A and B are shown apart, each in its own frame.
Chain A
């Protein structure tokens, strides 16, 4: 048991900040702590399943936990708005083009650009093959670039979604 707890403690200490940042990039602050706590409860319960490279695994748990949390809170009257996602900051054209992407496109771009994951690690988070992740990534990047190009070709600057 000591070994299990030591390993959990090490994972918790090393990755708590990164997991919190991951959740915060996808959800309002009001639910971040609840989700992060749940992620580490799952980590403790499934400690034998946690790979040596724990962070992508933790991100995957966080992704599922966040989805469950959104579903759960959607059913609660007057629940906080949990669909809110922080958008890219300091670049309105990029924010608009990013918002116009699908959830799947945004997620793989976030994993690479914001979490700094390799495509192999991103694949683990998304529970798909590395090849599939690579295809999704390149398509998402192309769509984001196209959105930015479209935004640049319009005057006045469009405020809505551009596909």
Chain B
């Protein structure tokens, strides 16, 4: 009976263990950091990101000021000396660039918040922007960039229910609704008529 109390406690676990995640090719790397590095020659300066909004070049050191851990993470992710400031939507500054591997990395900085900062790099091949990947967003909140021609982006669950939707302006979008990680199953890109252009899986 020595383990009874542990068995009883285990049965009362408020957050049961998640299902084992099979190994797979990583689709998206998300860390709370930002990125920019040497730009491969394949990406000429005027087509760096593959979208109309190429933004304004700014020093990477100024992207997330005072965030030493994030700055370090940017370096670890081989982000270079500059990023493109694409604009500000709903109080969220959005930056992007390509790192040394040619992957698009995205950084966000909430102007009015001290903690809402983050970065992701798209590790897909082909990556954003491509016919199957017209949206690059943080998986817990609709914030990111969209390919040309995308008018609206939305999170949907596995049953197709729309969880959040937000318009795209100058390739940028930022919803104020945080739905949380692992809630949405897909992100959809819609054109101006409401037709779905792409439906991307967010998780394995």
Chain A residues near B (Cβ < 8 Å): 1-2, 4-5, 8-10, 12-14, 16-18, 20-21, 24-25, 29, 32-34, 36-38, 40-42, 44-45, 47, 86-91, 94-95, 98, 109, 112-114, 116, 141, 144-145, 148
Contact mask for chain B residues 1-34; partner A; CB cutoff 8 A; 1 contact, 0 none: 0101110111111111111010110100111110
Q: Knowing that A21-B18, A33-B181, A90-B12 are A-B contacts, what are 14 other residue pairs whose CB atoms are under 8 Å apart, sorted by A's residue number?
A: A8-B29, A13-B24, A18-B17, A20-B18, A24-B15, A29-B180, A41-B69, A44-B33, A47-B76, A88-B13, A94-B8, A94-B12, A109-B9, A141-B5
Asked if residues B26 and A89 are in contact (CB atoms below 8 Å), the reply is: no
With A34-B115, A86-B14, A86-B15 known as contacts, the answer to whether A41 contacts B33 (CB < 8 A) is yes
The one of A41, A86, A141, A144 in contact with B70, judged by C-beta atoms closer than 8 angstroms, is: A41
Give Cα distance in the complex from A47 to B29, angstroms.
15
4 tightest A-B CB contacts, nearest first? A88-B12, A17-B18, A37-B32, A9-B26
In the complex with contacts A36-B181, A38-B69, A113-B6, A91-B12 CB distance below 8 A: yes
For A26, the closest partner residue in chain B by CB is: B15
CA distance A88 to B29 in the complex (A): 33
Our pick among B8, B21, B78 for the contact of A16 (Cβ within 8 Å) is: B21
Decide if B55 is an interface residue (CB 8 Å cutoff): no
Bound CA–CA A87/B6 (angstroms): 14
Listed in ascending order, the chain B residues whose CB lies under 8 Å from chain A are 2, 4-6, 8-19, 21, 23-24, 26, 29-33, 69-70, 72-73, 76-78, 100-101, 115, 118, 123, 140, 178, 180-182, 204
Residue of A nearest to B26 (CB): A9
Bound Cα distance from A9 to B124, whole angstroms: 12
**B12 close to A25 (CB less than 8 A):** no
Contacts of A4 in B (CB 8 A): 76
For residue B122, give the distance in angstroms from its CB to the closest CB of chain A. Answer: 12
A88-B9, A109-B9, A113-B6 known; A25 vs B76 contact (CB < 8 Å): no
22 A-B residue pairs with Cβ-Cβ distance under 8 Å, sorted by A, are: A2-B101, A4-B76, A9-B26, A10-B26, A13-B24, A16-B21, A18-B18, A21-B15, A33-B181, A34-B32, A38-B32, A40-B32, A41-B33, A41-B69, A44-B76, A45-B76, A89-B12, A94-B9, A113-B10, A116-B10, A116-B17, A144-B5
A71 to chain B, nearest CB (A): 14
B21 touches A17 (CB 8 A): yes
Expressed in whole angstroms, the Cα–Cα distance for A86 and B14 within the complex equals 7
Which of chain A's residues have a CB closer than 8 A to the CB of B11?
90-91
B14 CB contact (under 8 Å) in A5, A13, A37, A88? A88
CB pair A9–B29 under 8 Å, yes or no, is: yes
Query: What is the bound-complex CA distance between A36 and B181, given in angstroms?
Result: 10
Instruction: Decide: A20 and B181 in contact? CB cutoff 8 A.
Output: yes
